[in-house]
Copies of this chain bind each other. A is one copy, B any other.
Amino acid sequence: MNFKELMEFDKQIVEKYMDELLSINVIYEKKLIESMKYSVQAGGKRLRPILFLETIKLLNKNPFDFIEIACAIEMIHTYSLIHDDLPAMDNDSLRRGKPTNHVVFGEATAILAGDGLLNLAHEIMIAFVSKKLTKNNINGINIISKAAGINGMIAGQAVDIESEGKSIDIDTMKFIHSNKTGALIEASIVAAAVMSDADDTRIAALKTYAKYIGLAFQITDDILDIEGNEAELGKKIGSDELNDKATYPKYFGLEKSKEYAKNTITNAIESLNVFEPREKTFFVELADYIICRKK
């Protein structure tokens, strides 16, 4: 399979298993489950679970043995989007070309759907370790849970919200970006490495790679919010400027930001020197995809 086919294959596998994990027969809380499914099934690149599964493969393990963890990561990502879109937060009504969760189901259900997905992700991860009780498995889910929390994703979102309309320094912007977006991307790769019993050298190399692509991903997101195509993106562009958000283009200008993203990708690829060229094809192509993507 070439790069594009691999991406599509992983995406479909993750979506299939997420559907199964969300096939929950209930009598009373139908609306809650429906709203969780709505956001999980609303599409998306599925970048984080793909990174997780491809890292497992890179390290010669069977991705199907870890598929629930990939789904749990995507559920954490989805919950964060539902809560970020709420009126009290970014107040977005469109996501991936569809009305956001609270627009369809109301605010109360959207809050609970987010809570439900965050909790379910942890239930799935804990149940996984309960079945396969190893030090590396518990350490792997530890990495994911930490990245999602108040020293990771939630911290990034909290500072992002607080900083709206304020003039913030570059360090604060970097903090927001590396936590809000970078933390879970990094954890997807590093947790997979740990759970695949990789040695420290390989874990360290993959961690560096993950840091760089997380950064390049965010810079590209900022650029797409200026130059992107609304139809392809599935959301309105210009919202960063409208909400007076701190972005790379705002600090460095558009051209310098593009150059920065490109250099970051070069660094990402270089950090994989410890792997054989034939092993890392996917990760090299993925690094390029990160900055060339249109959505």
Interface residues of A (CB under 8 A from B): 24, 26-29, 31-33, 36, 83, 86, 88-89, 106-109, 111-112, 114-116, 118-120, 122-123, 125-127, 129-130, 133, 135, 138-139, 141-142, 145-146, 148-151, 154-155, 157-159, 161-162, 172, 175
Residues on the B chain within 8 Å of A130, using CB: 135, 138-139, 142
CB pair B158–A32 under 8 Å, yes or no, is yes
Residues on the B chain within 8 Å of A31, using CB: 158, 162
CB pair B116–A154 under 8 Å, yes or no, is yes
Residues on the B chain within 8 Å of A112, using CB: 83, 154, 157-158, 161
Q: Roughly how many angstroms separate A141 CA and B127 CA in the complex, as a whole number? A: 9
* Secondary structure dominating the interface of A: helix
Q: How many subunits of this chain does the assembly comprise?
A: 2
CB pair B123–A29 under 8 Å, yes or no, is no
Q: Looking at the complex, which one of B108, B142, B154, B162 makes contact with A115 (CB distance below 8 Å)?
A: B154
Contacts A31-B162, A109-B158, A158-B109 hold; do A149 and B129 have CB atoms under 8 A apart? no
Residues on the B chain within 8 Å of A159, using CB: 28-29, 32
| Minimum distance in angstroms from A224 CB to a CB of chain B | 24
Most B-side CB within 10 Å, residue of A27, A36, A155, A172: A155
Q: Which chain B residue has the least Cβ–Cβ distance from A150? A: B116
Q: Roughly how many angstroms separate A59 CA and B26 CA in the complex, as a whole number? A: 35
CB pair A126–B111 under 8 Å, yes or no, is no
CB pair B146–A28 under 8 Å, yes or no, is no
Q: Looking at the complex, which one of B24, B123, B129, B146 makes contact with A129 (CB distance below 8 Å)?
A: B129
Known interface pairs A29-B155, A31-B158, A83-B115; 13 further A-B residue pairs with C-beta atoms within 8 A, sorted by A's residue number: A26-B151, A28-B155, A28-B159, A33-B150, A111-B111, A115-B115, A116-B150, A119-B154, A120-B149, A123-B149, A126-B126, A130-B139, A133-B133
